Amino acid sequence: MTGQRLVNVMEELVSGLVRFFLRSPEYQIFCNCNECEMRIVAKALNNLPPHYVVSESEREKVFNELKSPKNIEIINKEIIRAIYEAGNRRNHVV
């Protein structure tokens, strides 16, 4: 992170997790194209609190806090819900 810029640590974490979920064997029934992936990330993020930081040290601190088992459980639940909701309305033809 060079200079000051706003980073939503929750967004970074959720993007990575959604990518991971969509590539795991049990989620292959869902589309994992970039468009659907972004839609799922957006949907999950709308149901999770943002965690903005402006420095690398803060970013690491918040990232580690968000990765606690309790937080990950909450975050994963929202991601899985988002995947299923986007999957139900899947009209995306690749």
DSSP label at 52?
Answer: E
Residue type, 46: N
CA pair distance 15, 82, nearest whole angstrom: 12
Q: Which residues pair with 53 in a beta bridge?
A: 7
- Binding status of residue 92 toward Zn ion by CB under 5 A: yes
Nearer to Zn ion, 7 or 36 (CB): 36
Mask for 28-67, x = binds Zn ion (CB under 5 A): ---x-x--x-------------------------------
- Provide the minimum distance between the beta carbon of 35 and Zn ion in the complex, in angstroms, as a whole number: 5
Residues 6+ apart with CB under 8 A from 29: 87
Cβ closest to Zn ion, residue 1 vs residue 38: 38
Q: Which is nearer to Zn ion, 2 or 91 (CB)?
A: 91
